[in-house]
Amino acid sequence: MNTARAARHIAVLGGAGGIGRAIVQHLVDAGDEVTVLDLPASLERHELGVPGIGIDVCDEASVQQAFSELGRKQGAIDGFVNLAGYNSVLQPIGDMSSAYFDEITGGNLRGAFLTAKAVLPLLRDGGSAVMIASGLASNIRAGYGAYSASKAGVIAMMKVFALENAPRVRFNAVAPGLVDTAFLRGGTGRSNEDQSSIVPLDAYRSATPMQRLAMPEDIVGPIEFLLSPASGFMTGQVLWVNGGGYMP
């Protein structure tokens, strides 16, 4: 039986990051056409072997320009994955400056809004958008106030996009637990990716029933599922991927 499927065109925002590189490689290996949107420094640092478009999700003009370029070069797309997000330090929310709160929520939540809005006209009928949230959106931990708030907002916003755009396109989210990537060590495109982890990794391992951290490859399958027809009756949903560390 021939199980081959038609190639899809998928745009991956944040595709030069740790999870991004894993999902890009998976999609390319499956025969899909992939375009990566990421910070110019990230695109320069990592050779991905696919077309890249520079973007800064904190800059509305940059977002509009990047998605206009995507539309000119690729036309309609079948899927969109938004992996963009960051958190720099852990600190009590009562000690957090408004500037830092605005930076984190601006990049993670406002950026998700701007990019989801920009990609919507490019998605084909039947297309799928996958946003990356976080277990910290619901499983709150001290020190992550701005990040948790931003990712909780991403989940709520994703559900609104899902409701308002069904049945033409689907919006869902993957909410990983801690993933061992450069995100923990300064962030791709924002650092040399060699800083000490901002979180106690051994403590996370011991507190996780699966007794390890997630690797980027652990997040690929859930993203692929939500992009694929196998999840065709799912919209507005969240897949929690955390090794059993959080069971909502």
* Tens digits of residue pLDDT in 21-73: 999 999 999 999 999 999 999 999 888 999 999 999 999 999 999 999 999 99
Instruction: Return the percentage of the chain with pLDDT > 70, whole number.
Output: 90
Q: Does residue 222 have a cis bond before it (omega within 30 degrees)?
A: no
145 versus 206: the higher-pLDDT residue is 145
pLDDT for res 1: 44
Of 30, 81, 79, 125, which is closest to residue 228 (Cα–Cα)?
79
204 a catalytic residue: no
27 membership: H or E segment, kind and range: helix 18-29
pLDDT tops 90 at residue 196: no
Task: Give the Cα separation of 126 and 117 in Å (integer).
Answer: 17
Beta strand spans in the chain (E): 9-13, 33-38, 52-54, 77-82, 123-132, 170-176, 238-241
pLDDT tops 50 at residue 2: no
pLDDT tops 70 at residue 232: yes
pTM: 0.90
Question: How big is the CA angle at 111 (ends 71 and 36), to the nearest 5 degrees?
Answer: 45
Task: Give the Cα separation of 85 and 151 in Å (integer).
Answer: 9
* CB-based contact 145:96 (threshold 8 Å): yes
* CB-based contact 135:242 (threshold 8 Å): yes
Of 76, 75, 74, 103, which is closest to residue 88 (Cα–Cα)?
103
pLDDT for res 197: 61
Domain spans of the chain, in order of start: 9-241
25 membership: H or E segment, kind and range: helix 18-29
199 versus 24: the higher-pLDDT residue is 24
pLDDT tens digits, 133-175: 999 999 999 999 999 999 999 999 999 999 999 999 999 999 9
Domain 9-241 CATH superfamily? NAD(P)-binding Rossmann-like Domain (3.40.50.720)
pLDDT tops 80 at residue 102: yes
Q: Report residue 76 as tokens.
A: 């309609």
As beta bridge partners, residue 132 has 174
Task: Give the Cα separation of 30 and 21 in Å (integer).
Answer: 14
Task: Give the Cα separation of 236 and 160 in Å (integer).
Answer: 8
pLDDT for res 180: 81
Q: Which of 86, 100, 144, 147 is catalytic?
A: 147
Q: Report residue 83 as tokens.
A: 């992996």
pLDDT for res 182: 64
Rounded to the nearest integer, the mean pLDDT of the chain is 91
